[in-house]
Each structure stands twice: as structure tokens, then as C-alpha cells.
Amino acid sequence: MKQNDLPPVSLMNNQSDAVQYGETNIEYQRKVLKYITEIGSSLRLDMDTDTLFKRVSEAICTALRFRYSVLYISDGAGYFHAGATAGEGPEEEEYLRQHPLPDTVVAQLISEEYRMSESYFIPAEAPLWNNDHMHSFFVLPVELSESSILYEERQVSSNRVWQAEDLLVVPLVSGDNTLLGFLTPDAPLDGLRPTYETLSFLELFANQAAVVIEGARLYEEAQRNSEERAALIEIGRVLSAPEALRDLDTVYQTIYEQVKRVMPADAFFVIRYLHQKDALMIDYFIDEEVSYPPFEFRHFPANMKKLLFEKRQGYMFSSEQEYAHFLDEEAPEIDGNLFGSMRPSQSFLFVPIHYGETPIGLLSAQSYQPGAYTRRHLEMLKEISIQAG
């Protein structure tokens, strides 16, 4: 649907009986339905998910005339991540990506008290927004729509005018009623809060998008299974080679390359535990594709020994603060404890390597993005550590 298919704001303001674009306009409704059908049929299972998510986020703005939209996707591990945005600037998009929504926050957003049709509308005056912690997960629109200001000038009831802190949540639900994610269309160009008619269009599109997203994720799941099997086979091959013990650099490099195939790995460590010195030796360290020579890790907090001795299945930390809390330190990566690129990691995986029952070292994958890892990543790294033991 082209921009000029709809009447301009100035014309709408000259029609005393028109409060929302095309609300009683059958031709408008026909065009919207046609556009939704066309964009729905253009979404394909074989699209990579980044492209698919971007297409969905942009399409809902174009079809239903919103200035911004964010598509959140569940990672299955307690967080909903901003998978794509439309209309947001680079800084706003980066902020949203670095602030995934915990399940506990999403549960508050989709409370029955905010339910409207099959969606949820949290108005600016809702008590929920009195919580600064809730505010911290979102960015406010940088500009109001033209018509929002015009409606205010015409003294339209304030409870009908869209406010900057309003939030609309349109769920994306799978065939088995699992919440895959949700859309948050923002700043409607007509300047008004949603009606049930608007929501019916949004939900129709969301249902189409959910079917394709679920199919695409199943397709990626099959590909991921294949990649993981291939990675384990390649690691097993290099570890069983006769020259493995004489060429550890090649072994470590292969492990890193295979880890990178199946999970984020901005930094990767192979760490050996020195029993006699009760210290850690960093045998292999690569950070943002730059390799560093081996060195002894002198800062070895008492709580860090839990990584080796207390939990064979490993540890996953979704933020720098979570890792700091585990170490019981104010800042775990300050001054002498920063190395490589000198950037503090934001997500961490640690898995011990055992020889029989004896811990002999650690594997660690780290990312500069918070919430980068899932339980599946941890299980995969554990499988690799078993092979390396």
C-alpha cells in the first residue's frame, strides 16, 4: 500500500466525522487486508531469521501506519530479545538489544488488566510505569505524530490520544499456544490509541507472522542440530589424531572454530588448572579474532573455584553484574583483571574439564552482548569438554 493511497492528515482534519484514518472507510480496510495478505505470503520459511524478523517489523508499520515497531523473540531461557526494529535510530536499536526483557517483566505487560482483544494495551497512566526498573527496558518515541498534536488542538478526549509512554503488545503465538514473542507497534500516525478494529488487523498480521516464524525456527533448529553434530565430529577427529598432544595449538584452534559455529564466541579460553600452585594457566585465548600468548591467571578469587570443583555441568551468566555477584566482587573485570581487547564481557559460559573425577581445567566462551547464551549453548560446551577430558 502506497503512502498516497490514504487521505492526508490535513484532509482528515477537514472531515468533522473522521476521528481515525479510514475507520469507517471500506476502501481503506480493503487495502489494508490486501497488503497484509501480500506481505504474509511473501514471508518464507527459508529466510534467515534476521531478514524475516526485519520484514515483519517493517511491514506492521507500513500496513497499519505506525512510526516505530519492535519485534521481541523468546530465547527459551527466560528472556525476550529485540530481534528487529523499524523506525528506530541506531542508538535506540542498540539500547533495546542490550536490554532484553526478562520473563517476569513480560508477565507484567501481558496481565489480564491490560488485555484488549487478543493484545495488551498499557496506557501511559498505568501504575506499572511508576516503576523506574520497568522504564529502563524501553525507549520513548523521539517525535509525536503530526495528527496527535492536531487532535489535541481539536480537544479530542485525552483518553483517546496516543501518549509517548503508551505501550501496545501484540503477541506472536505458536500452534501449541506457546508465546514465541510479540510486536510493540508505537506512535500511530493517526495519533490515536488503538481501537478493536485496529487490533483486529494487527492480530491478523501477527497470526500470519507467527506461523512463518515458528516454521522458520523449526527449519533453523534442524540446521542447528546438523551444525552441532558436525562440530562434535570435527573436534573428536582432531582430538583423536596421533599428533594431537604434540600440536595443542591446532587442537585448541579447531575447538574454537567449531564452538564459533554453534554459539557466540567473541572471546574463547582453554584454561588449565595447576594443582601444585593452585592457579590457572590460560593455555589458549582468542579475543575478537586476535590470538594472545599463554599466561598465568593470577587473580583467582575463592568463589571462582566453584567453576572447577562444585558444578560439573558448568555455569552460565547473562550479564557482567550476574558474574560479579557470583564472584562476590564489586567489579570482576577491573584494571589487572582485564586483558585481551580490554573490554568487559557481558555474557559468560564456563564448563569444567575433568580427567576421570579430577578437574583439570575449564572451557569458557564469552560474548560482549548481554543474554547471549542459552541452556542449549551450555550443554553443547559441556559435550565438548567431555571430549577434551
Distance (Å, whole) CA 20 – CA 47:
35
Distance (Å, whole) CA 41 – CA 64:
17
Please tell me the class of the 3-218 domain: alpha beta
Q: How many CA atoms lie within 13 Å of 159's alpha carbon, on the beta-carbon side?
A: 1
Query: For the CA atoms of 238, 288, 282, 367, what is the dihedral angle to 10 degrees?
Result: -100
Report the pLDDT value the prediction gives residue 211, as an integer from 0 to 100.
85
Model confidence at 351, pLDDT cuts 50, 70, 90, reads very high
Report the pLDDT value the prediction gives residue 214, as an integer from 0 to 100.
86
- Which alpha helices (H) appear in 184-339, and where do they start and end? 196-240, 248-262, 306-309, 320-327
Q: What is the average per-residue pLDDT within 182-186? A: 96
Distance (Å, whole) CA 143 – CA 191:
11
Distance (Å, whole) CA 21 – CA 9:
8
Q: CA angle, corner 96, sides to 92 and 102, nearest 5?
A: 160
Report the pLDDT value the prediction gives residue 71, as an integer from 0 to 100.
95
For residue 204, pLDDT beyond 70: yes
Q: How many CA atoms lie within 13 Å of 107's alpha carbon, on the beta-carbon side?
A: 5
Report the pLDDT value the prediction gives residue 40, as an integer from 0 to 100.
62
For residue 288, pLDDT beyond 90: yes
Whether the CB-CB separation of 380 and 345 falls below 8 Å is answered with no
Model confidence at 158, pLDDT cuts 50, 70, 90, reads confident
Q: Is 20 exposed, middle or buried (CB count within 10 Å of its CB: 0-12, 13-18, 19+)?
A: buried
Distance (Å, whole) CA 23 – CA 18:
8
Report the pLDDT value the prediction gives residue 17, as an integer from 0 to 100.
47
Whether the CB-CB separation of 191 and 145 falls below 8 Å is answered with yes
Query: For the CA atoms of 248, 252, 253, 254, what is the dihedral angle to 10 degrees?
Result: 100
Tell me which fold the domain 242-388 belongs to: Beta-Lactamase (3.30.450)
Report the pLDDT value the prediction gives residue 108, as an integer from 0 to 100.
96
Distance (Å, whole) CA 286 – CA 270:
9
Q: What is the average per-residue pLDDT within 128-155? A: 73
Question: In angstroms, how far apart are the furthest CA atoms of the chain?
Answer: 86
C-alpha cell at 351: 564448563
C-alpha cell at 299: 587473580
Burial call 259-275: b when 16+ CB within 10 Å, e when fewer: bbebbbbbbbbbbbbee
Q: CA angle, corner 4, sides to 52 and 191, nearest 5?
A: 75
Q: What is the average per-residue pLDDT within 139-153? A: 61
The string of DSSP letters for 138-150 reads: ----SS--HHHHH
Please tell me whether residue 351 adopts helix, strand or coil conformation. Answer: strand
Topology match between the domains 3-218 and 242-388: yes
C-alpha cell at 160: 483517546
Q: Which of 234, 224, 218 is nearest to 377 (CA)?
A: 224
Report the pLDDT value the prediction gives residue 180, as an integer from 0 to 100.
94
Whether the CB-CB separation of 344 and 321 falls below 8 Å is answered with no
- CA distance to 217, 227, 292, 293, per residue, from 221 (Å): 6, 10, 34, 36
DSSP state of 319: S
Whether the CB-CB separation of 374 and 365 falls below 8 Å is answered with no
Which of 311 and 67 is assigned the larger pLDDT? 67
Residue 216 amino acid letter = A
Q: Structural domain boundaries of the chain? A: 3-218, 242-388
- CA distance to 180, 227, 268, per residue, from 216 (Å): 12, 16, 29
Burial call 293-305: b when 16+ CB within 10 Å, e when fewer: eeeebeebeeebe
Residue 281 amino acid letter = M
Distance (Å, whole) CA 384 – CA 389:
9
How confident is the model over 81-102, as pLDDT tens digits? 999 999 988 999 999 998 999 9
